[in-house]
Amino acid sequence: MDFFSAYHQGFARVAACALPVTIGDPAANAQAILEQARACDEQAVAVAVFPELSLSGYAIDDLLMQQPLLDAVLDAIDTLVEASADLLPMLVVGAPLRHGSRLFNCAVVIHRGRVLGVAPKSYLPNYREFYEKRHFAPGDDQRGQTIWLRGEPVPFGPDLLFAASDVPGLVVHAEVCEDVWVPIPPSAEAALAGATVLLNLSASPITVGRAEDRHLMCRSLSARGNAAYVYTAAGQGESTTDLSWDGMTMVYECGGLLAEGDRFSAEPLTSVADVDLDRLVQERIRQGSFDDNRRTFADRIDEFRSVAFELAPPSGDVGLRRSIDRFPFVPDDPARLAQDCYEAYNIQVHGLEQRMRAIGEPKLVIGVSGGLDSTHALIVAARAMDRLGRPRSDILAYTMPGFATSSSTKSNAQRLSELLGVTFSELDIRPAATQMLADMGHPAGQGEPVYDVTFENVQAGLRYDYLFRLANHHGGIVVGTGDMSELALGWCTYGVGDQMSHYNVNAGIPKTLIQHVIRWVIAEGFFDDAVDAVLEEIVEQEISPELVPSGDDAKPQSTEEKIGPYALQDFTLFHVHRQGARPSKIAFLAHHAWRDAEAGEWPPGYPEDRRISYDLKEIRHWLVVFLTRFFANQFKRSALPNGPKVVGGGSMSPRGDWRMPSDAAAATWLAELDRELPESSVE
């Protein structure tokens, strides 16, 4: 079993390398490259990319056409090829090479003692500080060509894909500097042709603001190409006669920055990251328009050539060189979290506004328990009424105590409702529930402490039965409160229960995000201090359905003890729904995200006492619970009422981006987990 291997789990390690160059001394530069290549080998790197013209130096002007330099470049390539025989990484270095009667600015791809191919720079800058056409020929017309190196023919052209035969999904393409700055870069075509890891060997002298522009280019291309983009720029040692250099390195994946190095370093530096090849493949499968775009340009895309190589990655645990978010739905960055909360809240508010306009301004009927979800739905409703210029008294809030309702949650529901100025009422469901249980012949109807699912669902069903009839009676609609996490786990009562409503504002928002949206609402000052104080209390309390009376220990019923910690279950939900990931990979990712509470980032404002860790045994256990419940409860999601999609991670609506047969089984998913991470391995 290679469960702990990043390569086994669908990752490939890449490195963007910057180094002090020695002007016009390819032998010295080859040795400097080899020093970093050996360090990359020790770190189990699969692909290491070096700057543009890294063997010769970029800013050397007419020295580029001096025969001694060009001869020394060929010798330096020989040095790298021979030394690479015992190294793991594919080395991609910059070199000026003669082909035919012209000189080309090239990316030379070397691996395990041979040159796999040479990619010439397609587009040459010849404006402002650049004069590349004085020395080089553009390579955009060199598709399908061959160059002679070391006495043998080598594929030559911007149309080369380097595909690892033993690492599924690892397909590499290299372009050079200016190539990424044109409207349709070679790497865009390469991505359509199947490249997943796009490399850019750059020189790019630094000026004020250019680093931000580079980020924009690389981020955009990685996002639109559903690819990784690995960028490195020339740094220390290049001529500063008229320019300066910063040695910028970065790795992007699908628009997200995985790694970035310090700029203006006097020492060699390497930005290393593990690229999720599975994710890239999945994104392309899901986005059918990606392949449609390939079909549009099929005449060019089909001409790409594939060069196979065997990486032979190491087995065993090589660590994981990327940040894994504990909360995929909740950003760690404060500014991004605030932006997400702003959008989430307004998506919900605007969705409810439009539904009310379409119906004819009905009243809003909502069941309030004093818990997290109904609280959030209530403040969404209140904001919607404010924006529509209607009185909050048109919100009819009902608290409906059952057999296990605590005084604190009931009090919170009442206090919040009254402070918000909505119309508040209490409707005790216990007499009706007792009568129904008795009519059914259930022991609890005779006062016996039999607290089974029937006992729970009688209460949950009665609450919504009353809400629907109250909506009929008062000319209103029932606003749903159940969240996306509960829908994924089937933690809702089907039919006349919390699975149903006229419009569910919470259906698209996961449990782990709700508390942060409420905190954001407090910070934005939409309501007064008294309301905010109650909201703070509600956010801090334990999540409970309050359907079963406390036992002798007086401990209230805990949702998370039954269906698992929402932190872990939302983690799984994201990677199942958004990424289509294998269960064993989800366990691998959760292990890296959650094994050490002191490592990594936590979302802003996340309570210190809740910053805990989970071991692999716990992760596996709750993953099995998730998969079992997720498949068994699709019938509830197949009959969901309307509600807005909120997060990019998806929604559970059968009309949105989750369609699944109600009678599907989890057997294949559970079997994969048993095979890759047997229960006995974590005991």
Distance, in Å, from the CA atom of 328 to the CA atom of 347, rounded to the nearest integer, reads: 19
Amino acid making up residue 651: S
Task: Give the gyration radius of the chain's Cα atoms.
Answer: 30
Catalytic residue (one of 17, 121, 254, 676): 121
356 contact partners, CB below 8 Å, separation of at least 6: 362, 364, 384, 388, 477
Enter the tokens of residue 115: 């040159």
Catalytic residue (one of 17, 52, 238, 283): 52
Distance, in Å, from the CA atom of 324 to the CA atom of 316, rounded to the nearest integer, reads: 20
607 contact partners, CB below 8 Å, separation of at least 6: 540
Active-site residue 52, yes or no?
yes
Positive or negative, the CA dihedral 533, 539, 545, 550 is: negative
Enter the tokens of residue 459: 């209460």
Using CB atoms within 10 A of its CB, is residue 671 exposed (0-12), middle (13-18) or buried (19+)? Answer: exposed
Tell me the CA distances in angstroms from 342 to 353, 417, 428, 534, one per residue in order. 16, 23, 36, 21
Distance, in Å, from the CA atom of 488 to the CA atom of 652, rounded to the nearest integer, reads: 7
Distance, in Å, from the CA atom of 485 to the CA atom of 73, rounded to the nearest integer, reads: 59
322 contact partners, CB below 8 Å, separation of at least 6: 11, 258, 259, 273, 274, 276
Distance, in Å, from the CA atom of 203 to the CA atom of 270, rounded to the nearest integer, reads: 16
Neighbours of 84 (CB within 10 A): 21
For the chain, give the longest Cα–Cα distance. 101
Task: Please tell me whether residue 667 adopts helix, strand or coil conformation.
Answer: helix
Distance, in Å, from the CA atom of 195 to the CA atom of 502, rounded to the nearest integer, reads: 46
Active-site residue 121, yes or no?
yes
Catalytic residue (one of 40, 177, 254, 492): 177
434 contact partners, CB below 8 Å, separation of at least 6: 444, 445
Residues of the chain by 3-state class (helix, strand, coil), percent to 5: 40, 15, 40
Amino acid making up residue 129: E
Distance, in Å, from the CA atom of 88 to the CA atom of 459, rounded to the nearest integer, reads: 63
DSSP secondary structure string for all residues of 50-107: --TTTTT-SS-GGGGG-HHHHHHHHHHHHHHHHHHTT--SEEEEEEEEEETTEEEEEE
Residues shown for the chain: 683
Distance, in Å, from the CA atom of 50 to the CA atom of 123, rounded to the nearest integer, reads: 19
Task: Please tell me whether residue 620 adopts helix, strand or coil conformation.
Answer: helix
Catalytic positions are 52, 121, 177
